[in-house]
Structure formats: C-alpha cells, structure tokens
Amino acid sequence: MVRIPVYLKKWQQNGLFEETANALRLRFPEKEFDAGTAAAQVAEILHNLGYKKLFMSKMPESRFGIDGFSVYRDILRQAPADLPELAAYSRIYAQFSISEEDKYLYGNDFLNISNFYKKMKAARLKITPEQFFQTNAMLFQKIEAPAGDYSSKSKVIRGIYGRSQSTPLRDAFCLRFMSAAVADDITDCKTLYALLDGFDNYTRDPGRLNDDFLKGLLRNVIPQAKINPVFSVKENMWGMYPFEYGIGDFNYRAKTSRITPALVNEMLLVSQEFATADFKVFETNRRDGLTLSGTFGALRDCIHDQRCGTDKLIAAMVDYYDTAKDIPEHHRRAKEKLREAIRGLDYNLDDGLLMNLELYDRQLPRHGDEKHSESAISVLRRLRINTVPETDKPPLTNIETVNVLAEEVAQSPFVNGSRLEKYLKTVNDYVEEAMSSRRIGIEPSLLSHLGWTSRITSRFLSDMDYERQVEAYKKPYFKQILRFAELTHNPDRRYDAAGFEAFAQKVAEAPCMEFAYAEVCNRQTGRIMGLMKHYGRIAAYNRKVVSSIYGPGESRNKAYRLIREQRQRRINRLFSGSLLKELQNMSQYKTASCLVGRRHQEEQRRTYPERANFYKLAAQAAGKGLDFTSKHNPEAEVFALHGKAQNNR
C-alpha cells in the first residue's frame, strides 16, 4: 500500500487537491495526463518551497493574501509534462537550510530559477541539477539584504535568474561570475547589483563571452570589486553602443582580455575615444556636468555619456571665451571651431547657449556642494583638463620602478638616450613577460602609461636631428624603441621575440644608416597595413553585432555611420604622429643642427642623390640583386656612405 504524504492528505482535506486537478484539466483540455498525479506534484513543489499556509486544514474563501498563493497560480500555468521535473528540482532545494525570509524570495523566483536551468540544459552546458541548485542555495544563504529591505536582495536574485532576453551561454557566464563573487565574500546587494550591471552592459557584444573573459572575471574583477569603484558602483559608465567605450567597458576589457600586441594597440587607440580611465576624474567630470546642466543644456549629456569629441567641444568653448577680447579675426576663427565641434556631436546642442558669452561668467552653485559657487568658465577650464585623454605627465602605474624611471625621463629638458633606453627596457621587459606567459588582464593605468610612452618616444624621434640620426640605429636605445613598437603597435596575437631579435640585429649591423632605416621603414609599413586590416575586421564584426540588435532603420544606419567613423579615426591615428609613422620617417634625412652636420649631409646627397629617400634606395639596390645585410659585401660599398663619412671625421 502506497503511503500518502501528510501534506497531500491536508490538501485532500482542505479541498485544494481536487481544485488543482480541476484547474489543470480546464487549462490543458487538449493534453492527455493524469490530473490527480499532476495535482500531487503541484502539492509537493509548494510543500518543498515551505508554503505552510497552503496546507492548512481549512482554506479561507479569499486566498489572495495567503503566502504562496501567487506562486501556486504561476505553477498552474506550467505544462503538466514539466511538473515532474519541477518537483524533482524542489526536492533538491528542500535539502538546504534557508531562512524563512529567503524561502519566501526563493519561492517567488522558483520558476525563473528552474527555467534558467532548463535553458542551460537545453544548450548542453555541463552542470547537474544538484550542482545548480546547490549554487543558488548558496547565493540565497550568503547574499546580505540591508536591514528590512529584502527588495534589494530580490533585485539581485532576479538580475541573475530572470534573464528572459539573454542567451544560455550568457546566463551560464553570469551565474558563474556571481556565484564566484558571493563565494569570495562579496555579499552586499549594492556591490553585487553593480557587478550584474557591469556584466550585462559589457556583454552586449556576445563575442566577448569566451574562456579568457570568464577567467578574467574570476581572477581580476572579483578580487578588485571591493576596492575598485568601477566594478562596485552602478553608474552611467558605458559606451552608448556595444562597439563604443566608456570607462566601464575599458576597465572590463583590460581586466578580462589576454595580453597581446594587437590588444594593447587597440586599447591605446580606444583610450583616445573617451575622457578618462580614472574613476575619480570621471566622477569629477560628472559633477561638473551637473553643475553646468542648467546653463548649457545638453552639454551635460555629452559629458555624462563620455562621447568622443566632447574634449574638442569644451576646448573650443574655452577658446571662444578667451578670444572674445582678442583680435576680431582670432575670435571669428574660435567661433567657427566651436560651430564645427557642435556639429561633430550627435546631440541637441543649442548654439545660442554655447555662444552666449554672458553665461560663461555666470556664478553656479557646485553640484553636491551648493554652499560654494564658481563661474561657468572655471568649471569649463577644469573640464578641459579632465577630458583630454592625453597628458604630458606620466600616469602612475602599480610598478614603482617604471614610475621612477618615467619621472626621470619626463623631468629631463632633453631626452637622454641612455636614460630612455633604461626606461624603455624596463617597460618592455614587463610587457614582454606578460605576453610570453599568456597573462589575462592588464592594469588600465598601465595602458594609459603605455600611451604616454608612445607619445614621448614619438616626440623623441620627431625631434631627432641629423647628427644623432647618423648613429642612432646602432644604439641600445634605438633597439628598445623598435622593441616597444613591436610590443604595442603590432596586429599580431603573439609576440615573436626571436623574430624581433633577428630584425633588430639586421638593423644594427646594416652597412650604413640608409639601409638600416630602410629596413625599419619596410617593417613599420607592414605593421601599419596589418593594423589597417585589423581595424577593418573589427568594423565588419561590429556591423554584424549591430545588425543583430537593431532592425532596419535610422538607429541601425546611425550605428553603421559611427562604426565607419570609429574605424577611420583609428586608422588616422596610425598615420598622424604615431610611433610607427615616426619610425617610417627615419627613412628621410633629418634636419642638421650644425654646420658640420649640414656639410656632411650635402656630401651624402651629392655623392648619390637617391640617398634622400632611403627606402627607394634600398629597393633599387635590392633590384640589382645586392645584399646589404653584410658589412663585408664589397658591392655594398657603392652605397655604404656611412663608412666614408666616419673616415672624414
């Protein structure tokens, strides 16, 4: 004889058993099933969820206020064929000790949680029911709701499990991320909800869901969530489109990506597309935007949305104000630049407000500190400094040796070759080790620092005179410049240390500077072409992502236009003052600084006119079948001008 559970007897007594069976028959008249068995399964689910009031000996006429009745009605909407599986899930859940308050939350979210697991199972993601329900039981036990505010905890739970528009893979990543965060004692709802928001915003691009991303979340994001506000504070930190970047996207990408030359180069260019990767500066900009909101309208939105071009707009506003009492022609030009900056942003910016000089002198109460006020132009001047991605001062890193050496380079009125070599070698060694060990995650502050390094190295090459150019290719500092370019301005997904050493040796042992720099130019040209293709592929991928999110129409067309502009902007930066371009330019004679240098250069040009274009010279020589990699090739002496110059000294 089959023993009837006590809870089922109570249902039979209070009439809910028969009522449930009838309700299921009415709801699913076309399906063949045993209504009594299905009703018993509903009873078991509710019993395991702990809804004791549904098993009273007598049910009141009005049941809507009874704890668990809304869950009961939701379960009645489930297909009878799904009830056995739900009952099995509830039995697993019943094994865990959870507080009464959490049981209430769990019951309300039971169907979401169960459907979440069914999606994962359908996608063949390897996790057993026991593992899954043990994980969510741990979440319920450890997440700390603020005193008397269970809605915050419910918000986090539903953020994890109630992901109706998500994919199974994205769901699985989210659950793994959040359960690892809670297991690492990040249990306050505010931080967990910020992590959820960050995960959802960053993974709008499904291509970011990979093993490296998950490892980066577990190794880098979670340990920093307690101390890094980018991860622990919910703010408008994200690009407006999946292919755009704000401070949030930048930090997540840096912390969850494998370090490669291609990644570093992309991140250096990305860092130019929004105001700052420093959260304190980001918060200051937000407050300043709010301070100006009642005066300059949509300018606040440009600042808060971290739009590319906002720095140019603010700089144009300051210049417009500063030239008001200047020569009329200067003010006219500043006004035209301001108009161009306004047109360059897709915002409803009011020309009349931004060109009203009286508003610039208006005293404004500071947002969050209304007791103090300052002029609008003072706020704009601060924003001008804080929205420029590039700085002359080296950004601090978490590597003290790098900070000290960078400061020495920055403080020198003239960059010393040996000092630059020592600094670059330290930076290069660190970056190369990270790449060779296939490390996941790089500090955003180091990326900002590498951007500064690229700029000062480019400036060093740009300012180089002919006298230094003659010998530079043999110097250790030049090898470190080439190495830095290989590590950070390169489309490859792996750094080829052996290949670089062979190239550097070929340059250093060239018979003359013309051929050394032709070799350098040739390699950098290849890098530029490779990077152009790389950013073309990224743009093509971004178009696919956009087409999967937006239907045909204005929004999609606007996104396509922004993708084109982003690609062109990045390619332009490869040519405009970049390190690769300055290395290419080494294939042209620099300007001599003294009379001896000018005479030497003139002698070189007179002896063989083609010397003025080293790259063309090397190509012409190669066409004759000459090998200029050896100093001992007698035919190379026709072109080996450097040796003769040394003998004349």
pLDDT of residue 318: 96
pLDDT of residue 50: 86
Q: How confident is the model at residue 132 (pLDDT cuts 50, 70, 90)?
A: confident
Q: 458 Cβ partners below 8 Å, 6+ apart?
A: 577, 578, 579, 581, 582
Q: How confident is the model at residue 626 (pLDDT cuts 50, 70, 90)?
A: very low
* 576 torsion bin: left (phi>0), alpha (psi -120 to 50), beta (else): beta
pLDDT of residue 44: 94
CB 593 within 8 A of CB 465: yes
Q: How confident is the model at residue 643 (pLDDT cuts 50, 70, 90)?
A: very low
pLDDT at 612 over 80: no
The tens digit of pLDDT for each residue in 557-581 reads 999 999 999 999 999 999 887 999 9
Give the three-class secondary structure for 397: coil
Tell me the average pLDDT across 582-589.
91
3-state helix, strand, coil in the chain (%, to 5): 70, 5, 30
pLDDT of residue 641: 35
**In the block, residue with structure tokens 């690769």:** 580
pLDDT of residue 76: 93
Structure tokens at 162: 């109630």
Q: Produce one character per residue of 274-300: b if its CB has 16 or more CB atoms within 10 Å, e if not.
A: bbbbbbeebeebbebbebbbebbbebb
Q: 110 Cβ partners below 8 Å, 6+ apart?
A: 45, 49, 71, 86, 89, 90, 93
* Of residues 327, 324, 313, 315, the one with CA closest to residue 358: 324
H/E segment holding residue 178: helix 168-183
* % of the chain exceeding 70 in pLDDT: 93
H/E segment holding residue 168: helix 168-183
Structure tokens at 167: 């994919």
Residues 328, 335: Cα–Cα separation, whole Å? 10
Tell me the average pLDDT across 498-521.
92
CB 295 within 8 A of CB 376: yes
How many helices and strands (H and E) does the chain possess?
34, 2
The tens digit of pLDDT for each residue in 155-194 reads 898 889 887 677 888 988 999 999 999 999 999 999 999 9
Structure tokens at 4: 């009837």
One-letter amino acid identity for 519? E
pLDDT of residue 319: 96
Residues 112, 129: Cα–Cα separation, whole Å? 15
* % of the chain exceeding 90 in pLDDT: 63
Residues 471, 420: Cα–Cα separation, whole Å? 16
One-letter amino acid identity for 110? F
Tell me the average pLDDT across 618-632.
50
The tens digit of pLDDT for each residue in 451-496 reads 999 999 999 999 999 999 999 999 999 999 999 999 999 999 999 9
pLDDT of residue 627: 46
Tell me the average pLDDT across 352-361.
94
The tens digit of pLDDT for each residue in 7-16 reads 999 999 999 9
Residues 613, 191: Cα–Cα separation, whole Å? 59
Tell me the average pLDDT across 36-49.
93
pLDDT of residue 604: 81
Would you give the DSSP letter of residue 278?
-
Per the prediction, the chain carries an average pLDDT of 88
Q: 238 Cβ partners below 8 Å, 6+ apart?
A: 201, 202, 246, 248, 249
Would you give the DSSP letter of residue 636?
G
Give the ranges where 464-553 is alpha helix by DSSP (H).
466-472, 476-488, 497-508, 513-549
* Of residues 310, 389, 325, the one with CA closest to residue 361: 325
The tens digit of pLDDT for each residue in 95-109 reads 877 777 777 778 888
**In the block, residue with structure tokens 């470190």:** 480
Residues 37, 80: Cα–Cα separation, whole Å? 9
Residues 241, 394: Cα–Cα separation, whole Å? 30
Residues 283, 237: Cα–Cα separation, whole Å? 10
**In the block, residue with structure tokens 């490390």:** 439
pLDDT of residue 624: 54
Would you give the DSSP letter of residue 1?
-
How does DSSP assign 280-333, residue by residue? HHHHHHHHHHHHHHHHHTTHHHHHHTT-TTHHHHHHHHHHHHHTTTS-HHHHHH
CB 88 within 8 A of CB 34: no
